[in-house]
Amino acid sequence: MTSQRPEAIAALTGSMRSAVSRRRLLQAAGLGGVAMAAAACGAGGDAEAEATGAASAPAAEDLSDKDMTANWSNWPLYIDIDEESGLRPTLEAFQKESGIAVTYTEDVNDNNEFFAKVRTQLEQGQDIGRDIVVLTDWMAALWIQNGYAQKLDKSIMPNAGNIIPRLASVSFDPNRDYTMPWQSGIAGLGYNVAAYKEATGNDKMTTMAQLFDPAVKGRVTVLSEMRDTMGCIMASQGNDPSNFTEDQFNQAIDELTKQVDSGQIRQVTGNDYIAALESGDVIAVLGWSGDVFALGDEYAFEIPETGGTLWTDNMLIPALAQHKKNGELIMNNYYNPDVAAEVAAYVNYICPVEGAQAAMEKIDPALASNEFIFPSEAMMDRTFVFMELTPEQNEKYERAFQKAIGN
Amino acid sequence: MVAVVPSTGGQAPPAVTVKRPSRTGYILLFPGMAWLGVFFAIPFVTLFLTSLQQPIPGKSGKYKFGLEFGNYVTAFTEYWPVFLRSFVYAGIATILALCIAYPLAYFIAFRAGKWRSLMLVLVIAPSFASFLLRTYAWKTILSDEGIVTSTLNTLHLLPDGRILNTGIAVVAGLTYNFLPFMILPLYAALEKIDPRLIEAASDLYASPQTAFRKVTWPLSMPGVVAGTLLTFIPAAGDYINAELLGSTGNRMIGNAIQTNFIEFRDYPTASALSFMLMAAILVLVFTYIRRAGTEDLL
């Protein structure tokens, strides 16, 4: 394995730190090895040597045929669930049909947090025990660039061609050699319709200025995902989040700081805003389309007039995964339009599979015409994809953002 | 934390002829020492080394071995308000917990009679539910539409009109979560007090207040010291309460460490913060024990 140490594009290796992580410390300590700890301290050297060349992830011997299992890590509530049995119908069907037993774990809550959890193993060239992981664009990009994602064998994935044209090529993976989109979504305005009307007299919330309206002071939250929050604010200031300057970013930081310091923004959250909306503590949020949609009719989701951040979560196979082929078969299964429609009907996020809309007609015609699942071109024009950042930029902007939100 | 077990009084063990240390002693010590070595000493040293690493020039986000004591200066300059806030929150929570726990422990020790065991079980009972879950429950208790907040709002007692996501909620959560750690040592100390001493005090014409001040309180000091330490130390380093019940302006040092480790992957700063937290707590604890004059008591 060591002969194929991950090599990375020079500009992008920076984001991977060779510092000794706390986890690694414990690991070293667990082996009782002072030598281990010392070795970990010295890891900076060989990381430096990996600065050039194309990414190539090490592969392990594929046990797929002997060991009919696969481990899949995904975000919570991100696949169809049968409310009564608690089972996942599409996954059950796949297991029955293929004979592959899938262990599905909802242990990705946050891109950074998940990466922190598995990073040491990836850096040391160890299997992270997962055959599929689902990561947002920028994090998936980081994995590919560092050689932590394996090239997919499209020959056993005939359904892969069903990917919608808009997602078929992305900057970090032009041919979709490493990733397949799981779902996409939009960061925008979610609000409790009745409570919002009571507080402001307005029926609809359509601008970021309305989110920062003093009438809802202390009753709004924004997202802790930097790209989502900063993208929406930058757009509202007339700047382009897919192509901005540092000054423009700082201008948005000033606005965010102002809203945080004044107490307008109650909290900066991940998924927790759902509970806060439901309890009535919060009237309006910067949230994710599918989540708000799933809350029901009392709540509404609007893309801000100035635009909302569009993101995609991607399935990929980590380096040294032991059941690569089984993972690819799972991906292939979810690119079957019928299966994709079933998932989309439950999660209400943007479906990346061509033909799913037709399949959805059979499940629920109302959902087939839902623009948050099958968006029109006009709708897509109201979204933007956040600019791709170099590791240096990412670090600088992430720090500025965290500082603004009180960290 | 050697010195927190309530003393049993001044019975010194009878003098015995000093034997040569036997091998059995060392063998018995081994598991404990090995545990300390592997899970404390080695990580401690590595954490310290990490806190001194320096960035590799021209390579953002890469670190190498170094003796960069400046990391501590930068971390402190940036985070001292957060340190201060953590200690203030933990301090208030500790005082509140003491005020709540002392009468309760006193009651259980002296007045509970046959209900004593049941009441002790009730003190620990909330710990059967997970820490996280209990903290989540406080979100509901303190929610804007909840009974606590609306009552206080009717009385115009809340400046912001809310409790949840303010410092008050964080302190409330800390107090609640660490309360059992205050009650139990207090109970243990109070329970050991011989009631005849208090009787004797009143026989000597001490008023109940004076008897409490001169007899009960001094004898319960070991419990007070143990309880305040067991509450203050974890409360100062806690991050769950600030995360769930606080807002952007209520972040504690635990949150800062987490952000540096996980969001920024800035291990030197995070390690430096961890180290400073440890050092600050050690200094505070030693000063406190000295001031409380409990060395003789313990």
Strands of chain B, DSSP E: 54-55, 63-64
Confidence bin at B11 (pLDDT 50/70/90): low
Question: Considering only A81-85, A249-253, B170-174, B269-273, which range has the smallest mean pLDDT?
Answer: A81-85
Element (H, E) at A273: helix A273-279
Q: What is the pLDDT of residue B265?
A: 82
ipTM over 0.90: no
Q: In this predicted structure, which of A102-116, B8-22, B133-147, B181-195 has the lowest mean pLDDT?
A: B8-22
Section B260-286 average pLDDT: 91
3-state secondary structure at position A101: strand
Q: Could you tell me which of B284, B275, B298, B292 has the C-alpha nearest to residue B45?
A: B275
Q: Which residue has the higher pLDDT, A146 or B12?
A: A146
B chain contacts of residue A25, beta-carbon cutoff 8 Å? 43, 46-47, 50
Residue A223 near residue A268 (C-beta atoms within 8 A): yes
At residue A124, the pLDDT reads 86
Give a yes or no: residue A165 inside a domain: no
A37, A263, A402 member nearest B160 (Cβ) = A263
Residue B205's pLDDT band (boundaries 50, 70, 90)?
very high
Locate B236 and state its tokens: 């100062």
For residue A116, name the pLDDT band (cuts at 50, 70, 90): confident
Would the pLDDT of A43 be above 70? Answer: no
The strand pairing partners of A184, in sequence order, are: A312, A350
Contact at CB, B140 and A279, closer than 8 angstroms: yes
Taking residue A39's Cβ as centre, other Cβ atoms within 10 Å add up to 13
For residues A253 and A397, membership in a common domain is answered with yes
Backbone angles phi, psi at B63, to 5 degrees: -130, 150
The H or E element that residue A69 is part of is strand A69-73
Min mean pLDDT across A16-25, A154-163, A358-367, B99-108 is at: A16-25
Task: Select from A357, A353, A344 the least CA-distant residue to A162.
Answer: A353
Interface of A with B in 103-162 (CB under 8 A): 112-113, 116, 119
Domain CATH for A292? 3.40.190.10
Q: How far is B215 from chain A (nearest CA, A)?
A: 47
Beta strands of A82-159 (E only): which ranges?
A: 101-105, 132-136
Q: How far apart are CA A2 and CA A360, in angstroms?
A: 47
The answer to whether A210 touches A219, Cβ cutoff 8 Å, is no
- DSSP per residue, A18-39: -SPPHHHHHHHHHTT-HHHHHH
Residue A57 near residue A150, CB atoms below 8 Å: yes
The mean per-residue pLDDT over the stretch B32-47 comes to: 93
The total of structural domains in chain A comes to 2
Q: Which two tokens stand for residue B115?
A: 């209900």
Kindly report the number of other CB atoms within 10 A of residue B101's CB atom.
27
| pLDDT grade for A406, boundaries at 50, 70 and 90 | confident
Of residues A212, A222, A255, A221, the one with CA closest to residue A237: A255
Token representation of residue B4: 């927190």
pLDDT tens figures, B130-144: 999 999 999 999 998
Which of A172, A271, A241 shows the shortest CA–CA distance to A397? A241
| The domain boundary residue, chosen from A31, A49, A67 | A49
CA distance A180 to A167: 9
Return the residue matching tokens 């309760």: B104
List pLDDT tens digits, range A236-278. Answer: 999 999 999 999 999 999 999 999 999 999 999 888 899 899 9
Q: Which helix (H) or strand (E) holds A168?
A: helix A165-168
Give the pair of three-digit tokens for residue B22. Answer: 């036997």
Structure tokens at A59: 């592969």
- Residue from B35, B36, B42, B273 whose CB has the most chain A CBs within 10 Å, to mutate: B42
Q: Are A269 and A221 in contact (CB under 8 A)?
A: yes
User: CA nearest B258: which of B22, B9, B79?
Assistant: B79
Residue in chain B closest to A267 (alpha carbons) equals B247
The answer to whether residue A130 sits within a structural domain is: no
A186: helix, coil or strand?
A: strand
The pLDDT of B59-68, averaged and rounded, is 76
Does A112 reside within a domain?
no
Residue B18: predicted pLDDT: 60
Q: Which residues contact A236 (CB under 8 A, 6 or more apart)?
A: A207, A208, A209, A304, A306
φ, ψ at A377 (rounded to 5°)? -60, -40
Range of the structural domain that residue A392 is part of: 185-310+386-404
Q: How far apart are CA A393 and CA A32, in angstroms?
A: 38
Q: Tokens for A129? A: 């025990």
User: Rg of the Cα trace of chain B?
Assistant: 23
In chain B, residues with a C-beta closer than 8 Å to the C-beta of A119 are: 265
CA atoms of B142 and B153, how far apart (whole Å): 12
Name residue A315's beta-bridge partners.
A134, A180
Q: Which of A46-60, A89-103, A330-344, B180-194 has the lowest mean pLDDT?
A: A46-60
Q: Is B265–A48 a contact, with Cβ atoms under 8 angstroms apart? A: no
Are B264 and A398 an interchain contact pair (Cβ–Cβ within 8 Å)?
yes
Three-state DSSP state, A44: helix
Q: Chain B residue closest to A405 (CA)?
A: B248
Q: Concatenated DSSP letters for A344-369?
A: HHHH-SBP-BTTHHHHHHHH-HHHHT
pLDDT at B66: 86
Across residues A309-330, what is the average pLDDT?
96
Return the amino acid letter for A310.
L
Handedness of CA B108, B110, B114, B117 (dihedral sign): positive
Architecture of domain B86-251: Orthogonal Bundle (1.10)
Mean pLDDT, chain B, whole residue set: 88
Mean pLDDT of B62-70: 86
Decide: helix, strand or coil at residue A217: coil
* Tokens describing residue A229: 């929050």
pLDDT for the residue numbered B16: 56
CA A396, A172, A140 angle in degrees (round to 5)? 70
Is A275 within the bounds of a domain?
yes
A54-58, A277-281, B183-187 — which is least confidently predicted?
A54-58
Q: Where is average pLDDT lowest: A388-402, B50-64, B162-176? A: B50-64
- CB-CB under 8 Å, A44 with B56: yes
Tokens of B296: 């003789």
Does residue A37 belong to any structural domain of this protein?
yes
**Beta pairing, strands A132-136 & A101-105:** unpaired
Q: Which residue has the tokens 């308000």?
A: B81
**How many residues are listed for chain B in this entry?**
298
Question: Apex CA B89: angle with CA B140 and CA B295, to 5°?
Answer: 125
B145: chain A residues, CB-CB within 8 Å: 279-281
Is the pLDDT at A147 greater than 70? The verdict is: yes
Q: Residue A363 CA to chain centroid, in angstroms?
A: 27
Do the Cβ atoms of A266 and B165 come within 8 Å? Answer: yes
H or E element: which one contains A71? strand A69-73
Tokens read off for A348: 């209400």
Residue A126: Cβ-neighbour burial (10 angstroms; 0-12, 13-18, 19+): middle
Q: Would the CB atoms of A20 and B53 count as touching at under 8 Å?
A: yes
Residue A147 lies in a domain: no
> For residue B17, is pLDDT > 80?
no
Ranking A297-301, B108-112, B286-290 by mean pLDDT, the lowest is: B286-290
Q: What is the mean pLDDT of residues A170-198?
A: 96
Beta strands in A211-276 (DSSP E): 220-223, 265-269
Give A229 to chain B, closest Cα distance, Å.
Answer: 15
A367 interface with B at CB cutoff 8 Å: no
Quote the CA–CA distance of A316 and A122 in Å, as a whole number.
14
* Model confidence at A37: pLDDT above 90: no
